[in-house]
Structure 1
Amino acid sequence: MTTTLYLVRHGETYENHDHIFQGVLDTKLTPKGLAQTEGLGRYFKAIPIDKAYTSPLSRARMTAEGALTYHPEIKAEIVDDLHEIEGGELQGLDFDTCNQRFNNIMVTFRKNPSAFDPPGGESLPQVYRRFTKAVNTLVRQNLGKTILIAAHGTVIQTWINYAWGRSEDQIKLAFLPNGSVSKFTFDDELNVKIDYLGDVSYMDTQAE
């Protein structure tokens, strides 16, 4: 019995475009981001989906809705623990300002992610524990099914590290594109396999 997970990063926001730390700010999709949600609908048109879940943030909810365009019987359920990293005092600041005010904190984020701990926010190990627990809970609730989760760049990175077998103190980052799809499958013992990461092939296809 195989359980399948499609993990989707939300479409592009203005903050993504402008290199601003979003965290749990409820930001809006750009026109490109909206086009990505439409493309995701085509991507998943022929893929059977049994259940769908989303972060409570609107950029993820809109992405989930787009991905489910051709599955009107499926409504994405909001799961609070799928939200993006709580960025504390970094939220709303561009990356250069984050570095200037907080001792090159974005350099730490890139080069030593497990040490990243924004003032007033969540450390990356805390995010790792929260998000991997949430995803594994949803997988256990849907054994033998195919589920879709719409979430965010940083939290998805923690899940990928988990799937690679890296612990919370060994996190490495390789961010996936906005609107990208990653596929994972689980065996009967819930061992996770990475099928592919960061697929954006639909962006090169034309709408039918």
Structure 2
Amino acid sequence: MTTLFYRKIYAMKTADSTEFYVVRHGQTAANLQARIQGQQDTLLDETGELQVNCLAEFLKDAKFDIVYVSDLKRTRATAAAIMQYHPDTPVFFTPELREWHLGALEGRSFAELNAAYPLLMQQIRQSSFDAAPPEGESMLQFQERINRFMEKIASEHPNQKILLVTHGGVLQRIFNLAVGVVGSGNLRPLCHNASLSVFQRRNAQWQLAVWNNTSFMHLTSANDTITL
């Protein structure tokens, strides 16, 4: 279990800052099978449902002003678990928070794709902006999509606490936005299913406060079955 920059997150709010609590969806069968999902509309598996229940319990006392959710089924289900504790908080579903659109790669195993597209898969592993899957969006287009969304939401909700429910690839793009990595060959930090990360935007600058927190997985018996 990897957690970077962890501190008591409910005490983090400072003046003139917008906070983003960003969670990745729970596990799916495709995650377990090492298949690329991209924007395929997959469901949580049994372990994923246990994971998001742990996450929901951890966030039950948090106070969110607004929630934005990728409109795919696995993120909708993750958000539904969380929102049972926040029934009065407005929720918006958006395609802008979808995973990287990987076109012809979607639904296929990493092993199969490494054999069929060795150069492309190397570019993807390196987070190269040159990576451009057939019938999909390039890494650069993906990064720009997430940058636009984050800047737009931050400008629309100053000094608010925002929950985003999204995907691992999106979290990596937000990480890059926050730490200032702007070129090809970006970092690809580890991000577990149902993990929580926290970002702040203060004075037009992005900051990473918490990354990949999964410490709450012990809150139910799910910890006996979850492999992160």
Report whether the alignment pairs 1:30 with 2:45: yes
In the other structure, the counterpart of 1:200 is 214
Rounded to whole Å, the distance in 2 between the matches of 1:28 and 1:62 is 8
Q: Is the 8 A contact 2:42 2:73 kept in 1?
A: yes
In structure 1, C-alpha distance between the alignment counterparts of 2:127 and 2:150, rounded to whole Å: 24
Q: CA distance change for structure 1 residues 112 and 138 in 2, over 3 Å: closer, same or farther?
A: closer
The CA RMSD measured in Å over matched residues stands at: 1.5
1:137 aligned partner: 152
Structure 2: unaligned runs, 5 residues or longer: 1-15, 222-228
Deviates more, 1:114-123 or 1:176-185: 114-123
% same residue: 29
User: 2:178–2:206: 8 Å Cα contact kept in structure 1?
Assistant: yes
| Unaligned residue ranges in structure 1 (runs of 5+) | none
Of 122-131 and 170-179, more deviation after overlay is shown by: 170-179
AA at the equivalent of 1:151: T
Residue in structure 1 matched with residue 10 of structure 2 by the alignment: none
CA distance, structure 1, for counterparts of residue 176 and residue 211 of structure 2: 12
Task: State the alpha-carbon separation in 2 of the partners of residues 180 and 7 from structure 1.
Answer: 8
Report SS of the residue matched to 1:116: coil
2:27 alignment partner in structure 1: 12
How many angstroms does 1:86 deviate by? 0.7
2:85 is aligned with 1:85? no
Q: Is the 8 A contact 1:63 1:150 kept in 2?
A: yes
Q: What CA distance in whole angstroms lies between the structure 1 residues aligned with 2:172 and 2:128?
A: 10
Residue 154 of structure 1 corresponds to: 169
Q: For 1:176-187, what aligned pairs fall within 5 Å after superposition?
A: 176-187=191-202
Q: What is the distance in 1 between the residues matched to 2:149 and 2:55? A: 23
Q: Which amino acid aligns with 2:220?
A: Q
1:96 correspondence with 2:111: yes
Question: TM-score normalised to the size of structure 2?
Answer: 0.86
CA–CA distance in 1 between the matches of 2:53 and 2:99? 22
In the alignment, which of 91, 104, 120 is matched to residue 135 of structure 2? 120
Secondary structure of 1:24's counterpart equals coil
Task: Tell me how many residue pairs correspond in the alignment.
Answer: 206
| TM-score, structure 1 as length reference | 0.93
Cα shift at 1:122: 1.0
| Counterparts of 2:81 and 2:121, CA distance in 1 | 31
Work out the CA distance in 1 between the residues paired with 2:220 and 2:118: 45
Structure 1 runs of 4+ with >4 Å offset: none
